Amino acid sequence: MTGEFVAFFILSLLTIGGAVFMISFTRVVHMVISLGITFISIAGLFVLVGAEFVGVAQVLVYSGAISILMLFGIMLTKHDAYDEGTGRKWKNRFILLFVALVFALLFWGIQNTAWPASPPPAASGVSNAKEIGLVVFTEYVIPFELVSVLLLVALIGAIIMAKKEGDNE
């Protein structure tokens, strides 16, 4: 039993557990916290396969995102609001069947794919930020720039929408 295996076991347990609790909790703030645990555990899994930069970027992006989500959860719900859910039995059974089918399909697909042999994980001393930077700015410049334009459009769109509401008041 290697240390990597132990870490992988704990992190995947936390990832799946966080996701399951995210669905089963009834309060928004509890859901957000368990979602946060899932995101941070995924970052841990990234670090485990030697992609430290991706892992840290995941924490950097999602810890802020979770905080904002939580603020909206606090602002838009009552302190003791419960989500009551739709209690229709036949609907739940149908959903269960559907989810089981999707799982079976995915599992079958993953089992039957011939994966390329994985390259050895990079040593922790090697800076993979530099490698990612080189690849992004040489091979994938156009997709990278397109993504940044998309983000800019989303930002300006949000400002325009907020401005319209502000003018109406």
Q: How many CB atoms lie within 10 A of CB 18?
A: 19
CB burial of 48-60 (b: ≥16 within 10 Å; e: otherwise) equals bebbbbbbeebbe
* Using rule CB under 8 A, residue 148 touches other proteins: no
Binding-site member from 17, 21, 49, 63 for other proteins (CB under 8 A) = 63
Closest to other proteins by CB, 64 vs 143, is 64
Which of residues 87 and 166 has its CB atom nearest to other proteins in the complex?
A: 166
Complex with other proteins: residue 1 or 110, whichever CB lies closer: 1
For 112-140, where are the alpha helices, taking DSSP H only? 128-138
- Give dist(CA 38, CA 20) in Å, integer: 10
| Distance between CA atoms of residues 118 and 9, nearest Å | 20
Q: Taking CB under 8 A as the rule, does residue 36 contact other proteins?
A: yes
- DSSP annotation of 116 reads P
Nearer to other proteins, 19 or 56 (CB): 56
22 in contact with other proteins (CB under 8 A): no
SS3 12: helix
- The answer to whether 62 touches 74, Cβ cutoff 8 Å, is no
Q: Are 49 and 121 in contact (CB under 8 A)?
A: yes
- When binding is defined by CB under 8 A, the residue of 106, 129, 155, 162 that contacts other proteins is 129
Q: Of 19, 22, 49, 57, which one interacts with other proteins (CB under 8 A)?
A: 57
Is 64 near other proteins (CB under 8 A)?
Answer: yes
Q: Judged by CB, which is closer to other proteins: 67, or 148?
A: 67
Interface residues with other proteins (CB under 8 A) are 1-3, 6, 29-30, 33, 36, 40, 52-53, 56-57, 59-60, 63-64, 66-68, 70-71, 74, 79, 124-130
